[in-house]
Structure 1
Amino acid sequence: VPEEIVRQAAETAMREIVGRKTVDQVLYEEKEQVAKDTREQAQAILDRYHVGISIVDVTIQQAQPPEQVQAAFEDANKAAQDREGLINEGQAYANDVIPRARGTAARVIEEANGYRERVVATAEGDVARFDAVLAEYAKAPEVTRERMYIDTMQQVLTNVSKVYIDSKSSGNLLYLPLERLVQQGDASHAAGAAPPAAVPAQPAPGVDSSAVRLDSLRSRERSSR
C-alpha cells in the first residue's frame, strides 16, 4: 500500500533525524529544519526502493517530550524564556549606560587636556618672564631690584584705601585717605567744582604740637627763600 510505505519511510527518516538533534532543537529551536531534513531523508528512502512517490512537504504538527518528563521540560522551557528576558534587559541596560559612560569619559579627558594645556602655558609664561627678568638683572641689578620693588608695591597698594607715611625727618605721621579723596574728587568733578585740598598732616603720638608748628614754619621759610 503506498500510504503505508510512505508512513514507514517517514518514521524511519524521522527517527534518524531526531537522533542527530538535541531535545531543545527538536522541540523549540529547529522544528522547521527537522521537518525539512525528514522530508529529504524519507524521499531518499523511497527513491532507493524505486517506489515512484514524491513527498512534497512534511509538517510537524505537535512535538512534545514523553509524559513522564513533561513537567520537567516545561520548567526548563520557562527557565530558558526567563533567561532570554534577562539577557534582553541586560542588553538594553548596557545600550543605555555604555554610551553615556563613554560620553562622560570623553568629556573628562577633554577637560583634563584643557587643564593640562592651561597649566603648561602658564608655567611656560612664568619661565619666560623669569628668564627676561634674570637677563635684565644680570645687566643692571640695582635698577632691576628697584623696578621689581615698585611693581610689587603697585600691585599691593592697588586695592588699599588708606596709606600711612612715616616722615623720619619731621617725626610727623601722614595719613592719606585715598578712598575719600577719590570719592570727593569724583563728586567735585561731577559738580564742576575744584578738587578738595589734601588732608593736613597729623602729628605722631608723643610729638609736641608746637614742635610740629615750628617745623612747618621753618619749612615755609625755606620755601620762600
Structure 2
Amino acid sequence: MAWNEPGKGGQDKDPWGNKGGRDQGPPDLDEAIRNVSRRLGGIFGGSGGSGASSGGFSAGIIGLVLVVAVIVWALSGFYTIREAERGVVLRFGAYHEEVQPGLHWRPVFIDDYIAVDVSTTQSMPSRGNMLTRDENVVRVEMEVQFRVVDPRAFLFSVPDPYDTLKQATDSALRYVVGHARMDDVLSEGREQVRQDTWKELEKIIENYGIGITIRDVNFQNARPPQQVRDAFDDAVAAREDEERIINKARAYAREKEPQARGHVERMLEEAEGYKQKVTLEAQGEVAQFEQMLPQYQAAPEVTRSRLYIEMMQSVLSNTSKVLVDVEGGNNIMYLPLEKMMQQRDNARSPSSGTPPMVIDSSVSDNAYPEVNGRTVRDQGFRQGRN
C-alpha cells in the first residue's frame, strides 16, 4: 500500500507510519532517518532488509559527505590576482611559482598563495636626532618612496623587508649626516645630503637583495636643537633675503645692460656720422678754396669784395636791421614798415624765436664796414614788445 493511501478500517495513516492522525505526537526522528537511508541505499546500491538497511544508510551518508566535500574543496581553490599584483604560490610552504594577474586555481591544503603589490609606490618615514661632522645635534626627517620589483625576493630574502628597509634608511641617513656640516644639513647643502643618502641607501639594500627599488628620497625637515633654534631661524631668513636681493639685482642688471649697450651703440653711430660729416665738410671747403684761389690771385680786390658781400648777405638776410647809405645826400630813406610790423607781431607770439633787437646809434661811422666805397650804418630804432 502506498504511504498516502487511506488505511483499512477507515484509519488514516501518515507518511511516517503512525496511525490515529491528530492525537499522535510528532513523527519519530529515527524512523525518518531510516526512511531516508533506505532511499539513499537504493541509490548507492544497497539491498533491502534491516541489516542491509543500516549498512546502506552509513554508506550513503559517507558517500554524500564525500561528494559535497570534493565539490567544496574544488570550488574553494579558485582565486584572483589583481592587475597591480603578482601572486607567489607556495606548495607545502615552499616557493613554487609566480603567477600573473587573472583567475587561477590551486589545490587547497596543498598550495597557498600571497598577493604582492608591484605597481603602487609605497613610502616609509625615517627620523631621529643625529650628530653632524662639526659635533652639532640636528633632528632630521626623511621619507623614502619605493616599489616592489621582485615578489619572491621581497617575501623570502629577509624575515621582514619593511623593517630591513627602515634600518637601512636610518643607517644611510646617519652616515651622510655624520659626514656633513650642520649648515649643509639645515640650509644650503640639503640637496646634496638628499642625493648622498639616496646613493648610500641603494648600496645597502643591494647587498640584502630584498627585491625593491628606490623611487625617491624626500628630505622633509631638519631642525637644530631647541636651545639655538631661534638663532638658526634668523640665519636661514638672512640667507633667504640675501638670495632674494641677489636675484633682484641680477634681474635689474639683465634689464639695464641691453639698454646701456644700445645707448653705447647709438652714441658710436652718431659719433661716426658726425666724423664723416665734418670730414666731408672740410674736404668741401678745401675744394672750394682750391677753386677760388686762382680767381683771387687774378683779381684780389674784386674777389675780396664779392666774398664780403656774399657773407654779409647770408648774415643780414635773417635779421630785421635796415641798412641806409648816409653819405649820398640825394638818397631818400625808405623804411619797410610793413615787414617791420610783421616781425614785431611775430616777436610777440610765444612761437617766435626772434628776440627784440636794440640798435645803438651812438656807434661812430668808422665802426661800420664799407661796401663799394660807401659806409653802411644801421638806423637807430628799437623793435619793442607790447
Q: TM-score, normalised on structure 1?
A: 0.60
Which of 299, 323, 336 is matched with 1:162 structurally? 323
Counterpart residue identity of residue 107, structure 1: R
CA contact (8 A) 2:322 2:335 kept: yes
Q: What is the match of residue 222 of structure 2?
A: 63
In the TM superposition, residue 83 of structure 1 has moved relative to its aligned partner by 0.6
- Whether 1:6 aligns to 2:162 is no
Task: Call closer, same or farther: CA 1:106–1:177 in 2, change over 3 Å.
Answer: farther
Number of equivalenced pairs? 174
CA contact (8 A) 2:172 2:200 kept: yes
Which of 233, 236, 250 is matched with 1:91 structurally? 250
In the TM superposition, residue 84 of structure 1 has moved relative to its aligned partner by 1.4
1:1-225 matches, cutoff 5 A? 2=160, 3-29=162-188, 31=190, 34-48=193-207, 50=208, 52=210, 54=212, 56-57=214-215, 58-138=217-297, 140=298, 143-156=299-312, 159=317, 161-164=322-325, 166=327, 173-175=329-331, 177=333
Counterpart residue identity of residue 81, structure 1: E
Task: Call closer, same or farther: CA 1:61–1:137 in 2, change over 3 Å.
Answer: closer
Whole-angstrom CA distance in 1 between matches of 2:259 and 2:209: 66
CA contact (8 A) 1:18 1:26 kept: yes
Counterpart residue identity of residue 323, structure 2: K
Task: Call closer, same or farther: CA 1:174–1:96 in 2, change over 3 Å.
Answer: farther
Task: Call closer, same or farther: CA 1:59–1:103 in 2, change over 3 Å.
Answer: closer
Unpaired stretches in structure 1, ≥5 consecutive residues:
167-171, 184-225
Counterpart residue identity of residue 325, structure 2: Y
CA contact (8 A) 1:26 1:34 kept: yes
Whole-angstrom CA distance in 1 between matches of 2:273 and 2:230: 64
In the TM superposition, residue 82 of structure 1 has moved relative to its aligned partner by 0.7
Q: What is the match of residue 5 of structure 2?
A: none
Counterpart residue identity of residue 38, structure 1: T
Q: What SS does the aligned partner of 2:289 have?
A: helix
In the TM superposition, residue 131 of structure 1 has moved relative to its aligned partner by 1.5
Whole-angstrom CA distance in 2 between matches of 1:51 and 1:155: 105
CA contact (8 A) 2:184 2:190 kept: yes
Counterpart residue identity of residue 226, structure 2: E
In the TM superposition, residue 123 of structure 1 has moved relative to its aligned partner by 1.6
Deviates more, 1:85-94 or 1:106-115: 106-115
Q: 1:71-119 deviations in whole A, cap 9, x for unaligned?
A: 2221111001111121122123223333333333333333333322222
Counterpart residue identity of residue 164, structure 1: D
Deviates more, 1:89-98 or 1:75-84: 89-98
Q: What is the match of residue 135 of structure 2?
A: none
Counterpart residue identity of residue 305, structure 2: Y
In the TM superposition, residue 27 of structure 1 has moved relative to its aligned partner by 3.1
Unpaired stretches in structure 2, ≥5 consecutive residues:
1-158, 340-386
Q: What SS does the aligned partner of 2:271 have?
A: helix
What is the aligned-residue identity percentage? 32
Task: Call closer, same or farther: CA 1:89–1:155 in 2, change over 3 Å.
Answer: same
In the TM superposition, residue 122 of structure 1 has moved relative to its aligned partner by 1.9
Pairwise CA RMSD = 3.4
